[in-house]
A and B are shown apart, each in its own frame.
Chain A
Amino acid sequence: MKKGYFGEFGGCFVPELLMPPLLELEEACADILPGEEFRAELDGLLRGYAGRETPLTLCPTLSRELGFNLYLKREDLLHTGAHKMNNTLGQALLAKRMGKSVLAAETGAGQHGVATAAAAARLGLSCVVFMGEEDTRRQAANVMRMRLLGAEVRPVAGGTRTLKDAINEALRFWIAEQRTTHYCFGTAAGPHPFPTLVRDLQSVIGEETKAQCRSAFGALPDVVAACVGGGSNAAGMFHPFVADRAAGAVRLAGIEAGGTGEPGCHTSAPLNLGSPGVLHGQYSMLLQDADGQILPSHSVSAGLDYPGVGPEHAWFRKSGRVEYHVVVDAGALRAFARLCRSEGIIPALESSHALAWVLENAAALPAGGNVVVNLSGRGDKDMDIIREHMPDLCLPARTAEKEDGLCHRQ
């Protein structure tokens, strides 16, 4: 297979001016990442600073209702609230070994921006985060967290003012500042070597899950589900299963965001509803028009709101090893509410998509079996969106009682 390709997908479609830093990064990945010393230092940070390993939590109430054992891989408990930290700590450490002093990052929901800012602060690097102007308004609390952590947040006014434009601007910044700067890309997409690098750094999720399943029920799970934006939490969860021949029977499901689901509405589901093309350095599945112009995406969860997807997922889909489904905003919101009340866990709206697929398809999942959902993040960042979409859920208990005279609380 050609370097940086997964089947026909992947590659490195960037301006020549970015080839030297990408080649430098590729070399650093080969030389530094496998080193014993690097591994030990990263492991120390993941444990002592970020809070690994994260638990595999059995959901007793939902399991009873669904008829199989539902487990959550608790990336929501990782420092800064999502799986993003696995990647940013690894890349920050790598950047430091490469002699870089600045981390640049793009962010949509702000989770990757916060995780990069935290890793930079921890390791003594400066940090510049590009964020669409629209997103800085939608996710104001995360802008503040990044600033508290010492990062400079640069609002991006070009294009659709969302994640894809933040990536464009971060790439432009990297062209100019490549000598001092490492571009800490936030998902398992983009030009080679990012899809491989980010997947490898996130694979700790799947490795731990396999071991935790063995000790919890003495076997591999029947089904594993994860949400897919750019594809990093899913790649990190799936890869150790795909790479393991003994895990060939484990059903792997990636869940994309379907937006409102109304006819004609934009989605964030390029694997299911897009076509192959080139964006942000990679040949992969895309939301595009007939002229090859990139279409705006939409999802209630900002972290899934992206018109592209990592090339390895395009390949997993084509090869048939992983199945990909679509869950719309309403389904994710319902799953969000159900997990809050049933299990005392507030999930990120991104992760709620994966959970929603399991809840909506429970009847078709193996009764008495073991199903794992990757809970990629926690929902604290989503409070404003929840208040907007599900105001009833947010009413104080006493107000709710007054309105219809019934008590809604158990």
Chain B
Amino acid sequence: MSPTINQDGKGERTLSSTMEQAGGPRPARTLPPGSGQGDASVLTRRIEEANAAGRIAFIPFITAGFPSPAKFSAALRELDEGGADIIEVGVPFSDPVADGPVVEEASRRALAAGTGLRGILEELAADAACRRAPVVLMGYYNPFLQYGLTRFAQDAAAAGVSGCIVPDLPVDEDGPLRAALAARAVALIPLVGVNTSPARMRAYARGAAGYVYLVSVLGVTGERAAFADELAGAFTRAAGVFSLPLAVGFGFSGPEQLKNLPFRPQAVVVGSALLRFLDAGGSAADFIRKFFAD
């Protein structure tokens, strides 16, 4: 893939100019849930479809079970209905080293409310048939490991999960999970940073599917006012290595920040800002409407 950023040829478009298409009709999933196989390629397709419509794909992140189990279920539905292209669901962990205070607190409260991987998979499985947005699970390695990697891949695929992001599993250690997920056509989405060398990016590219998550700051999750200059360089490097869409995340709260970027990512992940909005009593439907309208 060339390092061209605006694959749709309409690079000057902003998010807001095209938001009316966000909730429009979209193709149904190709594999019916329950087939026992996931569909990693749907992730790539959904981002490409958004880009073809002149949009940066929107990927909200919400921690399962937060602010409460019931509110999480409602948020998941509203994000799907509101036009999220992909939804990242956080699997809470007691010791989230890559997360800032908002996600850490959300995880702590979700765990206190009894949220666990088994329950998350059951809930996702129950709604899989009526959800349009593919789901990606984001969580630390130990809960997956204790669940059993083979069984996890099987249950995740059956629950309609299309991909996984495991922030504490670098390419050097990801062999067992990658193999388990590959057997079920579930993507293991690479997480790379502004300090990742081209050589390490190439190592990630060898087994990558779905999309690539580019961490926009040298830091943890949480909203930021500005991004380092090095982000643009890292984006160009990543675009030169990966033949998959690039999503930027960590630090984004609204479309304003995207307009100010010196490059145009294929997708953006918004987490902490959404969690704070939900915790303050806001609805996911309002958040996504506001995000698209701005």
Which residues from chain A sit less than 8 Å from chain B, CB to CB? Answer: 11-17, 19-20, 158-159, 164-165, 168, 171-172, 175-176, 178, 277-281, 286, 288, 290-294
A142 to chain B, nearest CB (A): 24
**Interface readout for B186-222 with A: 1 if CB under 8 Å, 0 if not?**
0000111101110010000000000000010111100
Residues of chain B contacted by A20 (CB below 8 angstroms) = 195-197
Which residues from chain B sit less than 8 Å from chain A, CB to CB? Answer: 93-98, 100-101, 104-105, 108, 111, 116-118, 140-147, 167-173, 190-193, 195-197, 200, 215, 217-220
Given contacts A17-B193, A17-B218, A292-B145, 13 further A-B contacts (CB under 8 A): A16-B190, A16-B215, A17-B98, A19-B200, A20-B196, A158-B101, A158-B105, A158-B108, A168-B97, A172-B98, A172-B100, A278-B141, A279-B142
Given A20-B197, A294-B94; A278-B218 close (CB under 8 Å)? no
B168 near A288 with CB under 8 A, answer: no
Residues of chain A contacted by B172 (CB below 8 angstroms) = 11-12, 19
A15 near B195 with CB under 8 A, answer: no
The contact of A14 among B96, B101, B146, B168, by CB within 8 Å, is B168
A290 near B218 with CB under 8 A, answer: no
A175 near B142 with CB under 8 A, answer: no
A12 near B173 with CB under 8 A, answer: yes
The contact of A164 among B95, B118, B141, B146, by CB within 8 Å, is B95
Q: How many A-B residue pairs have CB under 8 A?
A: 110
- Measured CB to CB, the nearest residue on chain B to A21 is B195
B146 near A159 with CB under 8 A, answer: no
Cα–Cα, bound, A166→B112 (Å): 21
A175 near B108 with CB under 8 A, answer: no
Cα–Cα, bound, A369→B180 (Å): 53
A172 to chain B, nearest CB (A): 5
B192 near A16 with CB under 8 A, answer: yes
B218 near A175 with CB under 8 A, answer: yes
Residues of chain B contacted by A278 (CB below 8 angstroms) = 140-142, 145, 168
B195 near A159 with CB under 8 A, answer: no
The contact of B146 among A158, A168, A281, A292, by CB within 8 Å, is A292
Residues of chain A contacted by B219 (CB below 8 angstroms) = 172, 175-176
Cα–Cα, bound, A280→B95 (Å): 8
The 4 A-B residue pairs with the shortest CB-CB distance, nearest first, are A292-B146, A292-B143, A292-B142, A17-B193
A14 near B141 with CB under 8 A, answer: no
Given A164-B95, A291-B117; A17-B142 close (CB under 8 Å)? no
A15 near B143 with CB under 8 A, answer: no
Given A20-B196, A278-B141, A291-B117; A12-B220 close (CB under 8 Å)? no
Given A20-B196, A277-B142, A290-B146; A13-B168 close (CB under 8 Å)? yes
Residues of chain A contacted by B111 (CB below 8 angstroms) = 293
6 contacts between A and B (CB under 8 A): A17-B196, A17-B218, A277-B145, A286-B142, A292-B142, A294-B95
A207 to chain B, nearest CB (A): 32
